[in-house]
């Protein structure tokens, strides 16, 4: 099933993002988590791709397992930074052989401590990767988008123009960076529509479960934490259960508002955990 077909359905599509663990124990725990979440019948799950291809093999193996052993539709992330076209083709061939039909095409980041320069022959932008995969054929291609602007490009209009290029190159659906204020999403969608972007734009949400982790994530991606959310979290930041309760309630309110106002679904950034995501998703399904 091509993800774009799911997203054009009248019913909202719920999906989950996971990252490949580094240890065998982590892999076993991840598969158990996914099997628990599979009970919610998600439209698809996505598997991230480490900086500079650092999880290239495990991304393919994880996507293969989820699709063919657990039985969930899978979107494999693929980044072009640090890869030549031949190296990318090798990954694309393996995904195709595993029956993975959906790819999220990203520029990606260099591995930590490595120079940001492109490897000789590597693609510079996600748009180039989209064009390359389109040329190969056989895949439904998604791309990332940034309601608050990319952390490396705070000129929102210029960033939106780069998005239009990715869509024109062949991206069939978009998944947003996480955000905690729905006003950013609806403003972004309106501006994208005004420029002719007509593909589904799926909002990405993350139930907060740890205040320190929230701080690190938002500093890294540039997402804004609303004052009202901060004031609810600060008094309970050392109480994990209380933090999770606040995070679940906030995420659930966000999701209900997004769906009521026309979002095609919700993509959950799970951080390889199931409890908070399961509670939110189950509540939405009710």
Residues annotated as catalytic (active site), given as ranges: 17
What is the Cα–Cα distance from 28 to 225, expressed in whole angstroms? 33
CB < 8 Å & 24+ apart, contacts of 91-94: 91/53, 91/56, 91/60, 92/133, 92/136, 92/139, 94/60
What is the Cα–Cα distance from 233 to 107, expressed in whole angstroms? 33
Residue reference for tokens 């290029």: 165
Which residues does 95 contact at the CB level (< 8 Å), separation at least 6? 60, 63, 76, 78, 103, 139
Nearest CA to 72 out of 14, 156, 113 is that of 14
What is the Cα–Cα distance from 286 to 280, expressed in whole angstroms? 10
What is the Cα–Cα distance from 263 to 260, expressed in whole angstroms? 7
Residues in a beta bridge with 213: none
Local structure of residue 81 (DSSP, 8 states)? T
What is the Cα–Cα distance from 45 to 70, expressed in whole angstroms? 11
What is the Cα–Cα distance from 240 to 162, expressed in whole angstroms? 39
């Amino acid at each position: 099933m091509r993800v774009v077909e799911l997203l054009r359905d009248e019913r909202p599509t719920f999906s989950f993002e996971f990252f490949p663990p580094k240890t065998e124990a982590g892999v076993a725990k991840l598969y158990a988590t996914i099997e628990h979440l599979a009970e919610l019948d998600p439209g698809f799950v996505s598997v991230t791709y480490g900086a500079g291809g650092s999880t290239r093999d495990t991304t393919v193996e994880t996507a293969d397992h989820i699709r063919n052993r657990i039985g969930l539709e899978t979107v494999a992330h693929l980044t072009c930074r640090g890869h030549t076209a031949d190296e990318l083709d090798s990954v694309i061939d393996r995904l195709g052989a595993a029956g993975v039909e959906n790819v999220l095409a990203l520029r990606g980041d260099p591995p930590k401590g490595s120079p940001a320069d492109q490897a000789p022959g590597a693609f510079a932008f996600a748009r180039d990767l989209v064009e390359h995969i389109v040329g190969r054929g056989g895949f439904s291609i998604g791309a990332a988008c940034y309601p608050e602007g990319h952390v490396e490009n705070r000129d929102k209009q210029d960033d939106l123009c780069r998005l239009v290029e990715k869509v024109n190159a062949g991206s069939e659906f978009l998944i947003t960076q996480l955000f905690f204020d729905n006003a950013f999403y609806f403003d972004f969608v309106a501006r994208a529509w005004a420029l002719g972007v007509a593909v589904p734009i799926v909002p990405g949400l993350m139930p907060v479960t740890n205040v320190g982790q929230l701080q690190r994530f938002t500093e890294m991606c540039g997402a804004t934490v609303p004052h009202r959310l901060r004031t609810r979290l600060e008094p309970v930041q050392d109480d994990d259960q209380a933090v999770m309760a606040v995070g679940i309630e906030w995420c659930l309110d966000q999701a209900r508002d997004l769906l009521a106002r026309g979002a095609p679904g919700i993509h959950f950034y799970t951080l390889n955990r199931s409890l908070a995501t399961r509670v939110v998703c189950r509540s939405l399904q009710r």
